[in-house]
Amino acid sequence: MIFTESSLPGAFLIDLAPVADERGFFARTYCDEEFAAKGLGMPLRQCSVSYNTQKGTLRGLHYQGPPHEEHKLVRCTAGAIFDVIVDIRPQSPHYRRWLGTHLSAQNRRALFIPPGFAHGFITLSDDAEVYYMISVPHAPQYAQGFRWSDPAFSIQWPLAPSVVSPRDAAYPLLDASAPR
């Protein structure tokens, strides 16, 4: 695996290092030892899939609040998405900054997201499937989020969403005037 730290410290883009032959290729997508060597050594305990039928489906911006903060490893296994993380750590010099990247079945890239980031994506194709490896089991009572269109983040989504859940549409805006 090839680890590239993003512009938001602690978040990494992870590309495959395939070994190819006449059959195609084989590549590792996760290894405890390689993640630990990069300082990302935490067990990933839950795997989940998000299947999205329509291009323009938006999910997010989600995160788990204390004490159930989570590390996530996100990969698009079918179709394509524009994946976004936002630094929501009030004491971070990168507070409110966002990073967007294209994840697709074709580029096979993954995004490693540490605690302290809200996460969301918009599908760039019909039938997009997103595979998550997560460090803690989902705890619905700690599920939180911010509105995907919050002007405090000014995320440049590549297209307007056509499907947004009522829950995601109702998430609050970040109070930009709150003290850090």
DSSP string of 130-179?
A: EEEEESS---GGGEEE--TT-TTT----SS--SEE-HHHHHPPPP-TTS-
* DSSP annotation string for 111-143: EEE-TTEEEEEEESSSSEEEEEEESS---GGGE
Q: pLDDT confidence of 26, banded at 50, 70, 90?
A: very high
51 flagged as catalytic: no
Q: Which domain holds residue 114?
A: 44-170
Q: Within a domain: residue 37?
A: no
pLDDT tens readout for residues 133-163:
999 988 999 999 999 999 999 999 999 999 9
Whether the predicted pLDDT of 41 surpasses 90: no
pLDDT tens readout for residues 51-109:
999 999 999 999 999 999 999 999 999 999 999 999 999 999 999 999 999 999 999 99
Domain count, the chain: 1
59 membership: H or E segment, kind and range: strand 57-64
Q: Which of the following is catalytic: 63, 71, 119, 132?
A: 132
Residue 42 is predicted with a pLDDT of 80
Q: Which of the following is catalytic: 62, 71, 119, 171?
A: 62
Q: pLDDT confidence of 176, banded at 50, 70, 90?
A: low
Q: Within a domain: residue 128?
A: yes
**Considering the chain, what is the average pLDDT of its residues?**
94
What is the domain-level CATH number for residue 118? 2.60.120.10
Residue 155 is predicted with a pLDDT of 98
Average pLDDT, stretch 13-19?
A: 95
Q: Within a domain: residue 99?
A: yes
Residue 147 is predicted with a pLDDT of 96
